[in-house]
């Protein structure tokens, strides 16, 4: 698949808006997006053309690997993420293959990262909405949160904050996830997969 190498990248942290959701497992995409914004020296502001907050900037070393990026946090609630992401894609003229969704993933252990291009939504409402809006051919960074303990419902688990034990390592894992996104955007999927997929 060929894409315009000079085209910007749209990096979308998935989550729910509002302080009551800020520390939830479901909001780990927002946490990674916030760290990436800090790294490129930007602050999120309301997008003009979409229900989202955005930061524009550049990522990567000076030279040919330096990329124009738009970081985004949809403000529509998780299960309606597709609308804002599609509006941003169209406004910034981003090829679908230059979109990265950062999201929580139940089926891998806490802190484990997996990068991939395309695929199913695995029951994740944010991905479901994005795929319905624009097809599945975008990149995903899956951030493992593990399965709920005992008989806890999945919806309750993802909308709870990380446990105190998990929080001890959360900053490290979020940092590593941000590294993985930077590697994907500046060095390509294969290089990022070999460095970060565990």
Give the whole-angstrom CA distance, residue 94 versus residue 49: 14
**Helix and strand element counts for the chain (H, E):** 6, 7
Q: Are 113 and 196 in contact (CB under 8 A)?
A: yes
Rounded-to-integer distance, Cα 26 and Cα 103, Å: 7
Quote the DSSP letter at residue 80.
G
Report, as residue numbers or ranges, the catalytic residues. Answer: 26
């Amino acid at each position: 698949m060929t894409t315009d190498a000079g085209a910007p990248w749209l990096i979308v942290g998935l989550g729910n808006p509002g302080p009551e959701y800020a520390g939830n497992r479901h909001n780990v995409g927002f946490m990674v997006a916030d760290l990436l914004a800090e790294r490129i020296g930007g602050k999120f502001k309301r997008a003009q053309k979409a229900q989202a907050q955005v930061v524009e900037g550049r990522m990567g070393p000076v030279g040919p690997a330096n990329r124009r990026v738009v970081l985004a946090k949809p403000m529509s609630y998780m299960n309606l993420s597709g609308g804002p992401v599609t509006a941003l894609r169209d406004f910034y003229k981003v090829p679908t293959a230059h979109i990265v969704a950062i999201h929580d993933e139940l089926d891998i252990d806490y802190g484990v990262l997996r990068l991939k291009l395309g695929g199913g939504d695995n029951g994740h409402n944010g991905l479901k909405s994005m795929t319905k809006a624009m097809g599945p051919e975008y990149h995903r960074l899956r951030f493992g949160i593990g399965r709920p303990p005992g008989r806890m419902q999945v919806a309750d688990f993802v909308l709870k904050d990380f446990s105190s034990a998990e929080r001890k390592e959360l900053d490290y894992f979020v940092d590593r996830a941000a590294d993985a996104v930077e590697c994907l955007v500046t060095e390509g999927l294969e290089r990022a997969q070999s460095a970060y997929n565990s």
